[in-house]
A and B are shown apart, each in its own frame.
Chain A
Amino acid sequence: MTSDTWHQRESYSFDRNAIAEIRRAANTGIYRIRGWGAKRILPTLDDLVFLGASMSRYPLEGYREACGTDVIIGEGRAESPVHLDIPITIAGMSFGSLSAQAKEALGRGASAIGTSTTTGDGGMTEEERGHSTKLVYQYLPSRYGMNPDDLRRADAVEVVVGQGAKPGGGGMLLGQKITERVAQMRTLPEGIDQRSACRHPDWTGPDDLAIKIVELREIVDWRVPIYVKLGAARPYYDTALAVKAGADAVVVDGMQGGTAATQDVFIEHVGIPTLAAIPEAVRALRELGVHRDVKLIAAGGIRSGADVAKALALGADVVSVGTAALIAIGDNDPAYDEEYRALGSAAGFWEDYQDGTDPAGITTQDPELSARLDPVIGGRRLANYLQVLTLETQTLARACGKSHVLNLEPEDLAALTVEAAAMAGVPLAGTNWTPGREG
């Protein structure tokens, strides 16, 4: 920047990003559709810190003393509960939005470390079933690729009510990614801009959902657990209603949760942050007396073991990663920076998952681009990443004196901002003040 620009002041309201979007809208006449999740500044789990053991708390030795990480979903509720070795799963992402190689890499990585992966809005592929030892089958409003045989060979069923990137919105897959195979799986014409349903076709509300869950249980002979996934909007009420409907696990996806293609206005302006959503879901579970029985799976913007540990401390049983898993297998790889730039982006900024032009071969159906992703190497990278998340989570849990990561609790936390203190229901650091609570 030269000194010539020092006297120029960029408008806070009309910054370069706002100006660029107005110009883009004026040129095209269509709203911006993109991938990724919310990019604007939000209250996050970074606004919390662990207090660690001290005079009144007794830490555990790192690497030496046991610190459990296993979680069982559906125990005592389904004939074959889901046993996870780590409290971190791979979130639902569709074949169609992702390449077959990417789905395979996710399955390989998750399986290597003993956790589950999840299908998406487009059905189950052989690549992901074959390489996922634990596979959650999503049951979505569109019912694309919905097949009772796949339902029966799933390890759990996830009824998707909404997702964090767009609570109240349906899926989207633009024409350039509707190849012959994708079109066939979804029973759609090739090349159309597919807009999935946002409401389930055969139930409307929690009373109907309760009956729907019974039907799903009957079809799988009550063998596997049923999850209900919610976009975080009203997590207290939605979680309570999901429990009432019979869910074995509730997935709450905050607004940082990613998407393959959604209107930008939806991604940035609908839903609430993950930090704000978890405590409200936990409150509902506690009031109903089912906390730790009905499992809470938190998702949306989880990046590190610190995020995992904080989500668990707030009361989640499991977290899911989506965007972070894609990054682990190669999304936004700096090695492709030149190609990202040729597409008008750059490594670290790439969000145009909707275009199907991903140089890393992950969010594409182009056979040449897809072939760039080696699913074996991608799987190893994901397994390593999940291993690091687990080690980091254990490190923090041991520092707080916990022999299992699920023993982390809100009492282990303090907040760095008043907003985070209010949302998380923990004291502002250095004080005994929790906004909204007496005393």
Chain B
Amino acid sequence: MSTTIDLAEVPLRQLNQVLHDADSGVFNVLNPRGAHALACGIRANVTVEVAGSVGYYCAGMHQDGNVLVKGNSGPGLAENIMSGTVRTTGNASMSAAATGCGGLVVIEGDAGARCGISMKGVDIVVGGSIGHMGAFMAQTGNLIVLGDAGADLGDSIYEAALYVRGDVESLGSDCVEKEMSTAHLAEVKRLLEATGMVASPDDFRRYGSERRLYNFHVDDIDAELAEGRGVMT
């Protein structure tokens, strides 16, 4: 039994309140017409299918259940997602899954700039390519890109793992290519299977932090002299 909500007839506020009040259920949303903040703040194990494209912050701070956008998604898709799954069949604009703490975000098409920015544990799978500054300051979690990655991938990255099948235009500060171990191949395989994406894990390359930016470099010439060590010049 599913509930259909037509945004041509009811305001967004009413839709979101229904989703916030629900404990479970399937909800079909018609005529999203690029609405912002659609299905944000979902807490319960509900399924939401959106027939069309959405604006900013669709499924923002998602905590449980599944949201499927049958169309394109605007900026900040599933921003700060905690758990559950958010999927868009088309492309996603900038900052997809930004600061996501958990759960799974699937973008069947391309993602714009800053995909996975400051990600904190989310898994992101992109069927197409991602724009520049992907995984900027990414803290932890996995980003899998079946296509190419734009400039400055993984700039200032912490412990997130980035897997790219295609070309990387350039790596950002402190981001380096890393060895693909058996565990990493298994992780890619798991996420490809979970999202129904068809690709061979062997075709991916892994990128992560070189950890050179983790601590400030502080010199102390006076201490060297006091200890009688030879001062490096």
Not counting A143-B99, A201-B114, a sample of 18 additional A-B residue pairs whose C-beta atoms are within 8 angstroms of each other reads: A29-B218, A30-B217, A148-B61, A148-B63, A148-B82, A151-B61, A174-B216, A187-B120, A187-B121, A197-B137, A201-B99, A201-B136, A202-B57, A202-B95, A202-B98, A202-B114, A211-B57, A215-B36
Contact B98 A221 (CB under 8 A): no
Which residues from 199 to 252 on chain A have a C-beta closer than 8 Å to any C-beta of chain B? 201-203, 208, 211-212, 214-215, 218-222
Stretch at the interface among A188-196, A277-285, A377-385: A188-196
Nearest chain A residue, comparing its CB with the CB of B225 = A27
A220 to B37, CA, bound (A): 12
Stretch at the interface among B9-17, B123-131, B189-197: B9-17
Most buried by A among B61, B94, B101: B61
> Min CB distance, B208 to chain A, in Å?
12
Contact A197 B57 (CB under 8 A): no
Contacting A202 at CB < 8 Å: which of B63, B79, B214, B216?
A: B79
* Cβ-based interface call for B72 (8 A): no
What are the residues of chain B within 8 A of A219 when measuring CB–CB? 40-41, 60-61
Question: Given contacts A148-B63, A201-B99, A218-B12, are A193 and B214 in contact (CB under 8 A)?
Answer: yes
Most buried by B among A26, A29, A192, A215: A215
Q: Which 3 A-B pairs rank lowest in CB-CB distance, beginning with the nearest?
A: A219-B41, A202-B76, A202-B95
> Min CB distance, B106 to chain A, in Å?
18
* Cβ-based interface call for A147 (8 A): yes
> Min CB distance, B23 to chain A, in Å?
16
A259 to B20, CA, bound (A): 37
Contact A208 B56 (CB under 8 A): yes
A191 to B216, CA, bound (A): 11
Contact B158 A27 (CB under 8 A): no
What are the residues of chain B within 8 A of A222 when measuring CB–CB? 13
Q: What are the interface flags for B106-128 relative to A under an 8 Å C-beta threshold, 1 for contact and 0 otherwise?
A: 00000000100110110000000
* Cβ-based interface call for B159 (8 A): yes
What are the residues of chain B within 8 A of A142 when measuring CB–CB? 118
Contact A197 B36 (CB under 8 A): no
Interface SS, A side: loop
> Min CB distance, B32 to chain A, in Å?
14
* Cβ-based interface call for A28 (8 A): yes
What's the interface size class on B, roughly? Answer: 35 or more
Contact B101 A187 (CB under 8 A): yes
A314 to B203, CA, bound (A): 65
Chain A contacts to B: CB under 8 angstroms:
26-30, 142-143, 146-149, 151, 174-175, 187-189, 191-193, 197, 201-203, 208, 211-212, 214-215, 218-222
Contact A27 B219 (CB under 8 A): yes
Question: Given contacts A143-B118, A202-B75, A215-B40, are A27 and B222 in contact (CB under 8 A)?
Answer: yes
> Min CB distance, A200 to chain B, in Å?
9
Contact A218 B41 (CB under 8 A): yes
What are the residues of chain B within 8 A of A197 when measuring CB–CB? 118, 137
A345 to B203, CA, bound (A): 58
Nearest chain A residue, comparing its CB with the CB of B79 = A202
A148 to B79, CA, bound (A): 11
> Min CB distance, B159 to chain A, in Å?
6
Contact B56 A189 (CB under 8 A): no
* Cβ-based interface call for B55 (8 A): yes
Nearest chain A residue, comparing its CB with the CB of B60 = A215
Contact A146 B99 (CB under 8 A): yes
What are the residues of chain B within 8 A of A151 when measuring CB–CB? 61
Contact B139 A215 (CB under 8 A): no
Question: Given contacts A187-B140, A201-B118, A211-B56, are A146 and B80 in contact (CB under 8 A)?
Answer: yes
A175 to B222, CA, bound (A): 22
What are the residues of chain A within 8 A of B101 when measuring CB–CB? 146-147, 187
A219 to B79, CA, bound (A): 12
Contacting B139 at CB < 8 Å: which of A187, A208, A221?
A: A187
> Min CB distance, A220 to chain B, in Å?
8
A201 to B188, CA, bound (A): 26
> Min CB distance, B78 to chain A, in Å?
10
A192 to B139, CA, bound (A): 12
What are the residues of chain B within 8 A of A202 when measuring CB–CB? 57, 75-76, 79, 94-95, 98-99, 114, 117
* Cβ-based interface call for B215 (8 A): yes
What are the residues of chain B within 8 A of A174 when measuring CB–CB? 216
Contacting A201 at CB < 8 Å: which of B60, B98, B221, B222?
A: B98
A142 to B139, CA, bound (A): 11
